[in-house]
């Protein structure tokens, strides 16, 4: 948990980093609900910060209800952070419906931009991953098909020509793969059923038809949304 920070960082930035670090440690389970934090001198040494910086960070977290300072006793974890935990940690505990909603938000914009900005190399990558997906499904290799499916959508994200958006989608991809695995298990036919939609999506992107690309991506997302609704009713 050592975090050595550069002396050139402004005090306000340093405090923010300590807050982020402590929230991340709590979210990761390093400090469980009700646990007492290490004594102030030990935390100062572990984080590589001064007393005033640490106390300000604890004051902010206490004000937000995450920590509780008990005079003469110590500082305790009062609640889990609702915000500010590392993205990867938050994604690992996301529900499938939440994952699909985030996926819809990302992919609708991704396919719209990809239809406008794609090049021939990106189209070839998409086709290549779809072939691997098809071959894996034909060979009943669900794991390989899932990997190819995710790689295909990452290739579409790359074609959108926005590096931040592509990086965000890749950060999300591991959680998406886990959600798709559950959805495919819940309805074996969906992976094959969406094969034609994947091909139609590439054709729309190739034709630079953004509206058709969005409509095709929406149709795919709706299929998974229907599966989720059925799962929630069981």
Is the per-residue pLDDT at 8 higher than 50?
Answer: no
Percent of the chain with pLDDT over 90: 46
Give the pLDDT confidence score for residue 190 in this predicted structure. Answer: 63
108-164 pLDDT, tens digit each: 999 999 999 999 999 999 999 999 999 998 998 888 888 899 999 999 999 999 999
Check residue 5 and give left, alpha or beta (phi > 0: left; psi -120 to 50: alpha).
Answer: beta
By CB atoms closer than 10 A (0-12, 13-18, 19+), residue 49 is buried
Q: Which pLDDT belongs to residue 188?
A: 55
User: Do residues 155 and 125 touch, judged by C-beta distance below 8 A?
Assistant: yes
Percent with pLDDT over 70 in the chain: 85
Per-residue pLDDT, 7: 36
Q: Is the pLDDT of residue 12 over 80?
A: no
Please provide residue 91's backbone torsions phi and psi, each rounded to the nearest 5 degrees. -65, -35
pLDDT, position 63? 78
Give 8's strand partners. Answer: none
* Mean pLDDT confidence for 91-114: 85
Please report the pLDDT score of residue 234 as a whole number.
Answer: 62
Which pLDDT belongs to residue 185?
75
User: pLDDT: is 228 or 116 the higher one?
Assistant: 116
Whether the predicted pLDDT of 186 surpasses 80 = no
CA distances, 193 to each of 96, 106, 156, 169, 208 (Å) = 20, 22, 20, 24, 24
Q: What is the mean pLDDT of the chain?
A: 84
pLDDT in tens, 23-72: 888 877 888 888 999 999 999 999 999 999 999 889 888 877 789 999 88
**Higher pLDDT, residue 33 or 193:** 33
Given a cut of 70, is residue 178 above it in pLDDT? yes
What domains are there in the chain, each with its CATH number?
A: 11-77 (1.10.10.10), 87-233 (1.20.120.530)
Cα–Cα distance between 178 and 32 in angstroms, integer? 26
Give the pLDDT of residue 1.
36
Write the secondary structure of 133-177 as one string of H (helix), E (strand) and C (coil).
HHHHHHCCCHHHHHHHHHHHHHHHHHHCCCHHHHHHHHHHHHHHH
Task: Looking at mean pLDDT, say which of 63-67, 132-136, 173-177, 201-205 comes out highest.
Answer: 201-205
pTM: 0.61
């Amino acid at each position: 948990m050592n975090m050595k920070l550069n002396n050139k960082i402004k005090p306000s930035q340093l405090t923010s980093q300590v807050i982020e670090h402590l929230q991340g440690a709590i979210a990761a389970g390093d400090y469980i609900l009700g646990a007492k934090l290490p004594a102030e001198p030990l935390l100062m040494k572990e984080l590589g910060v001064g007393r005033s910086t640490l106390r300000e960070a604890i004051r902010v977290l206490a004000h937000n209800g995450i920590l509780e300072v008990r005079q003469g006793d110590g500082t305790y974890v009062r609640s889990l952070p609702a915000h500010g935990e590392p993205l990867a940690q938050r994604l690992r505990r996301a529900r499938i419906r939440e994952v699909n909603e985030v996926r819809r938000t990302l992919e609708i914009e991704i396919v719209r931009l990809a239809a406008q900005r794609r090049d021939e190399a990106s189209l070839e990558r998409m086709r290549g991953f779809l072939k691997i997906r098809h071959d894996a499904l034909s060979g009943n290799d669900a794991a390989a098909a899932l990997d190819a499916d995710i790689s295909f959508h990452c290739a579409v994200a790359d074609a959108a020509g926005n590096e931040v958006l592509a990086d965000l989608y890749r950060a999300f991809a591991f959680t998406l793969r886990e959600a798709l695995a559950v959805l495919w298990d819940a309805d074996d036919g969906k992976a094959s059923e969406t094969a034609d939609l994947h091909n139609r999506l590439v054709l729309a992107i190739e034709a630079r038809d953004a509206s058709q690309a969005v409509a095709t991506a929406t149709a795919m997302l709706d299929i998974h949304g229907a599966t989720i609704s059925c799962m929630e009713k069981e």
